[in-house]
Structure 1
Amino acid sequence: MGIGPDGTGMRIRGRLRRRGGALLAAGLVGGLLLTGCGGPGGSSDSSDSSGSKARGPRAADEPAASVAPSAGKEEAAPDYRSTFALDVDTASYGYARRTLDEGRLPEPGTVRPEEFVNSFRQNYPRPEGNGFSVTVDGARTGEDGWRLMRVGLATAQAPASGERPPAALTFVIDISGSMGEPGRLDLVKTSLSTLTGQLRADDSIALVTFSDEARTVLPMTRLGRPGGEVRERVRNAVDTLEPTDSTNLGAGIRTGYATAVEGARSGATNRVVLLSDALANTGDTDADSILERIAKARRDHGITLFGVGVGSDYGDALMEQLTNKGDGNTTYVSSPSDARKVFVQQLPANVELRARDAKAQVVFDRDAVSEFKLLGYDDRRVANDDFRDDRVDGGEIGPGHTVTALYAVKLRDGAEGEVARATVRWLDPSSRAPREQSGSVAVSALDGSLWSHGTTPRLRVSAAAAYFAHRLGGASDEPFPGEPSLGQLSAYVGALADETEDSDVRALAKSVRQADQLRQ
């Protein structure tokens, strides 16, 4: 999809370093208010875990070898495990589409394959209740011994009744001069007005604006009935916003979190929502000091951060750094249709959590696999031994969301039996007890040709999105095994768009064509 239906926040602390690097299709309230595994071709089984710190992250029957990323492939190390925190930011794909529409290739550093992949709908089976389903499948890529393996995770949909905890949302709105460009503040204002009409009577909103300084325009206020006085007051406040002066992002964050802390509600989803082009140029522009304020508010008050990026000039890296530190996620909006998809179509009650601190670990059978490479998730890697250490943060995942990870896997000659087992671990949102769910895939399940009609269309869409991102990321001279050229990929995605009749796949086909033309 041009806008991903799923969103999740993730962060890793302690021994894990993260680089900050987001399409509102991830769902403003699904990402703003939160997000999961499943699919054809793999088996799934469930188990609970005690989460004992004394217990190692490897079951007795798991291979004792890890594969660490290097230039183009993962080299054999002590074990054959791959571990990452769940995350489905989608801003990278949204920003790339905006850039291509303007006739430019995106900067390679803004391209993250997992955000491209997770921008598209998947048809994974859903579990019941909290937690995940796990699906593992794949296909031959066309090169000798190489397969593309997909790990798919999915959470249950939100209840049809729409019941959820109330939300307390502090909107921190950039009104600096750079927001005057069409598609920035005007789009933010339209989105906020739409959102005001969509939220429930027991939800609360606060408004903070910043340019060279920050001020609280509206303290935390319950919205009350639709059409009531409070909603009208919010809309009037939004309508008066005009761009002015420079961008003191530090002041906006500081005032925004102070307002959120003062208005925090027990039993509610308390979240700061930053709407900005993230081009800080005055006041406190040091990312580390801004990040520390965010981390303290998260630790002390449980307030998370959701970033909504806008503008053709966009501080992608800073925005992702901020939301990573704030236990949130980022998305990017470039058009009214993007905003409508988020605020109107994906606003349903995706507030309650299905899982806390979710992480995934894939264990490859060393007798069947000689090499493997995770496509993307460079900022989400977790030390293998930290998989069952619940002090290491993962992703906060809400209802109705999916997470997809792709691996290039080289099988050994004559390989048979199981290729890999994928396990997702999370904390129950209510009891915080650790839970796990696993799925596996056999060699025989990866024999189909990737681009043939016998392979599920959604697997092919995932592959196309990942390969497209890899090409845009400046890796054309070092393709993944079986990776097509942009011209070939354009033909594949065009056929997929016709087959799926999916407008989001059509938008992907358009972007691939644009990139191919710009590269020629």
Structure 2
Amino acid sequence: MPSLRNALLCVVFLLAPPALADDGFGVIMGTVLNSEDRGTLSGVYVTATSSSMQGERTVLTDENGFYWLPQLPPGVYTLRFELEGLKPHARDIVVRLNQTYRMNVYLLPEGLGECVEIVGGSESVPWSTRPSSHGRSASPRESVAYTPPPPPSPYQLSRMQEDYGSGQTVAPPPFNSSDKAFLEMYFQGYGVNPTVDTETERFSTFSMEADTASYSLARGYLQRGVLPDERAVRVEEFVNTFDYGYENDTDAPFSIHVEGFPSPSRPGYHVLHVGLKAHEVSVAERKPAHLIFTIDTSGSMMQQDKLPLVKQALRMLVDALDERDRVSIVTYGTTARVVLPPTNVLQRDVLLGAIDGLQTEGATNAQAGLDLAYSLASANFLQGGINRVILCSDGVANNGVTDADGIWARVKGFAERGITLTTVGFGMGHYNDVLMERLSHVGEGNYAYVDRLAEARRIFVQNLNGTLQVVAKDAKVQLEFDPRDVIRYRLVGYENRILAKEQFADDRVDAGEVGSGHTVTAIYEVKLRGEPLDSFATLRLRYKAPEGGSSREVVKSLPARILRPSFASASPPSRLSYVAAAFAEKLRASYWMRPLTWEQLISLHGQIGAPLAQRPEVVELGDLIRRAASLDSRPDRFEAVAPLRLMDSDRVPRIE
């Protein structure tokens, strides 16, 4: 190390929300700053040593002064800060399982002494100091550095949001870049999948998921005139938001639809659209349900896009259920209480009265709310039916959540007994996306985000059967690429759903739950050696029946005939899925999407083709792309895509 001179440090040590930590590990993160001008210091060596791991872990702070040490086994660590011209400083930290610790270090002038402040509770991660792929942390799970755009113009704020299908026009709450609430939006980035040589690994395996929260969250940001947090963008959730019109296979649990075409953004590569649709269960065939709504009524839910929107959504749900179903309501603020015991939907006035009476109060004891909801579900378990806890919250938990491991264990234990958990997020500002997503996955449910009434209608009315009726558990997908035909490939998205190839056949591994009629779509980029003569890949789908038991497996070869000569010759669903994926990649500043300009993406959206192009949600996608383009200040370096002549076929080919 270079020679160092004396300096004194002030360390602020904070406990960040436990949900930010990697599963089975701990995380240490923080920022190194100059105490005189509060500026950040880059190039600081941060070294962690512990008897819990072999060797040492060293990173350098990035251009924002940020350092990140993920995947640390539990134990006692010595953290050492070193920079040329400054005195080295070391401090011990106890790292626990699934906890994230933040240590901010201020470099002080000589003679001011040393201070240490221990602060309990949560601490937001400022947008300007997040993990950066341009920094020098060695972790592959970093997010790209991001500087928030300037506050929106009056024109942008005056743009009204059309809540299509409802006949209502509402303006979203304005975004204020100085509002601390909007800085306290907790997200976790998982990096961007690399391109993989088939000679090294020909298997790509991931857990099936049909979540859509990320797209709605991004829309909420853009409707407020600001780009979304890059870590909030999960490509697969953008893609899975849209209905691609897959045919239902009445003779099989899943229908498989695959199509490929040359990539508009990556010369020499093909885009591979892989679509799976679960068997549809009719409304009459759906099992009776007991739904325990667990509603956050703490003070943070007072905003119009939080508790008032929850109440509107529940009123719509009451009308969508039938005489077979029962509803319970549990609320939690500082404490938890049962507002409505199990009540048949036919007692509509009683249900609506309980919903209308919901009011905000107190702190946020999410643990007490979930504990009470599960107790109510257990005591009123519906044999042979659907037993589902539905958490409606902004995800903030500032009271009562002291044992993350215990929460996960309880939620998982109830899921194994047949009481599953769906999480539905509401509101912007003081929002914890990480906690909401993790809870739904541990609880074997799904995660959605409601930014407006139309989204509530989509979740609670239009997709009610799929939300409630599970048709497959622990569903996994595996593609095996033939190295004779495929040189390399990249799975676009699903970064936090990746499985090892050995886990595909391991029935002990938890994976995705798929509801009635749910569709799961994945996008790959593949580089071919030439034109394949026969099949170039094999698709495997593995799942269990809703009741559990041994897994079943579906195997399909992907023939060369599904490859189209151009983007224009692909079906509208394949074009739409590519545009949705490319939009997400642009928003999260993916390295692989740099050659594609916003103008090109706008042009490609305009070429999706009928009948999809006329759908309100697809029209809105184009509007969101244009909004994002107007907010992104990075210069374009490529010419716009020329108009393409479209083909007549409007469906993704089905693999028989």
Query: TM-score, normalised on structure 2?
Result: 0.64
Matching residue of 1:101:
223
1:503 corresponds to: 616
The answer to whether the 8 A contact 1:92-1:111 is kept is: yes
C-alpha distance in 2 between matches for 1:130 and 1:456: 24
1:219-234 to structure 2, matched below 5 A, reads 219-223=341-345, 225=346, 230-234=347-351
Aligned with 1:418: secondary structure? coil
Which residue number corresponds to residue 457 of structure 1?
A: 572
Paired residues of 1:490 and 1:509 also in contact (CA < 8 A):
yes
1:138-149 → structure 2 map (5 Å cutoff): 138-142=260-264, 143-149=266-272
Residue 325 of structure 1: aligned partner: 442
Structure 1 match to 2:555: 438
Give the conservation status (yes or no) of the 8 Å contact 1:110–1:317. Answer: no
Asked if 1:389 is matched to 2:501, the reply is no
Map of 2:604 onto structure 1:
492
Shift of 1:261: 1.4
Query: C-alpha separation between the residues in 2 aligned to 1:486 and 1:469?
Result: 12
| Structure-2 residue corresponding to 1:422 | 539
1:77 positional shift? 6.3
Q: Which residue of 2 aligns with 1:302?
A: 418
1:345–1:252 distance in 2 versus 1, CA, 3 Å:
same
| Letter paired with 1:398 | G
Tell me what 1:39 maps to: none
User: Which AA in structure 2 matches 1:421?
Assistant: T
Is residue 150 of structure 1 aligned with residue 268 of structure 2?
no
Can you list the C-alpha shifts for 1:439-467, whole angstroms capped at 9, x where unaligned? 333345324212x1x21011011001111
In the TM superposition, residue 284 of structure 1 has moved relative to its aligned partner by 1.5
Cα RMSD (Å) of the superposition? 2.6
Q: Map of 1:252-331 to 2, 5 A cutoff?
A: 252-284=369-401, 286-299=403-416, 301-313=417-429, 314-331=431-448
CA distance in 1, matches of 2:617, 2:193: 32
Deviation at 1:413, TM superposition (A): 4.4
SS at match of 1:471: helix
Alignment partner of 1:91 out of 213, 228, 242: 213
CA 1:389–1:105: 2 relative to 1, 3 Å? same
Mark the CA change 1:14 to 1:126 in structure 2 (over 3 Å): closer, same or farther: farther
Structure with more of its chain in strand, by fraction? 2
Structure 2 distance, partners of 1:78, 1:492, is 34
Equivalent of residue 241 in structure 2, options 119, 128, 139 = 119
- 1:428 and 1:289 mapped to 2: Cα distance? 28
1:466 aligns with 2:576: no
Change in 2 beyond 3 A, CA 1:14/1:361: farther
With over 3 angstroms needed to count, the CA separation of the structure-2 counterparts of 1:352 and 1:330, relative to structure 1, is: closer
8 Å CA contact 2:366–2:400 kept in 1: the answer is yes
Query: Which 4+ runs in 1 deviate beyond 6 A?
Result: none
Q: Which has the higher contact order (CA 8 A, sep 6+)?
A: 1
Using the alignment, how far apart are the partners of 2:418 and 2:288 within structure 1?
A: 15
Maintained 8 Å contact 1:494/1:506:
no
Q: How far apart are the structure 2 equivalents of 1:316 and 1:460?
A: 29
Q: Give the share of equivalent positions with the same residue, in percent.
A: 38
Quick one: distance in 2 between partners of 1:310 and 1:447? 41
For 1:404, what is the secondary structure of its paired residue?
A: strand
Give the counterpart of 2:457 among 329, 340, 353: 340
Question: Is the Cα–Cα contact under 8 Å of residues 543 and 551 in structure 2 kept in the other structure?
Answer: yes
- 1:497 shift after superposition: 6.8
Residues 109, 286 of structure 1: alpha-carbon distance in 2 compared, 3 angstrom cutoff = farther
Shift of residue 348, structure 1, vs aligned partner? 4.6
Is the partner of 1:396 in helix, strand or coil? strand
1:378 aligns with 2:495: yes
Moved more, 130-139 or 104-113: 130-139
Distance 1:389 1:396 in 2: 16
Structure 2 spans left out of the alignment, 5+ residues:
1-22, 26-70, 72-97, 99-140, 144-162, 164-190, 634-656
Post-superposition CA distance 1:448-501 (Å, at most 9, x none)? 212x1x2101101100111111111132xx1249x6222211222134377631
Q: Verify the 8 A CA contact 1:87 1:395 in the aligned structure 2.
A: yes
Q: Find the partner of 1:169 among 291, 302, 308.
A: 291
Supply the distance in 1 between the matched residues of 2:207 and 2:414 (Cα, whole angstroms).
22
Count, aligned residues: 448
Counterpart for residue 526 of structure 2: 409
Matched residue, 2:16: none
Q: 1:129 to 1:76 in 2, by over 3 A?
A: closer
Instruction: Using the TM superposition, give the Cα deviation of residue 383 of structure 1 relative to its aligned residue in structure 2, in angstroms.
Output: 1.4
Cα distance in structure 2, aligned partners of 1:447 and 1:345? 33
The question of whether the paired residues in 2 share the 8 Å contact of 1:85 and 1:382 is answered with yes
Amino acid at match of 1:148: V
* 8 Å CA contact 2:313, 2:456 repeated in 1: yes
Please give the alpha-carbon distance, in whole angstroms, between the structure 1 residues aligned to 2:482 and 2:207: 21
- 1:120-135 mapped onto 2 (5 Å cutoff): 120-129=242-251, 131-135=253-257
Query: 1:415 deviation in Å?
Result: 4.8
Write the distance in 1 (CA, Å) between the matches of 2:554 and 2:563.
21
The residue number in structure 2 matching 1:34 is: none
- Residue type of the alignment partner of 2:421: L
**Distance of 1:200 and 1:193 partners within structure 2:** 13
Amino acid at match of 1:318: L
Bigger shift: residues 255-264 or 95-104:
255-264
SS in 1 for 2:388: strand
- Look up the equivalent residue of 2:338 and give its one-letter code: T
AA in 1 matched with 2:339: V
| Alpha-carbon distance in 2 for matches of 1:383, 1:334 | 35
Amino acid at match of 2:616: S
What do residues 327-357 of structure 1 show as CA deviations (whole Å, max 9, x unaligned)? 1110011111222233333335764433222
Q: CA 1:319–1:489 in 2, change beyond 3 Å: closer, same or farther? A: same
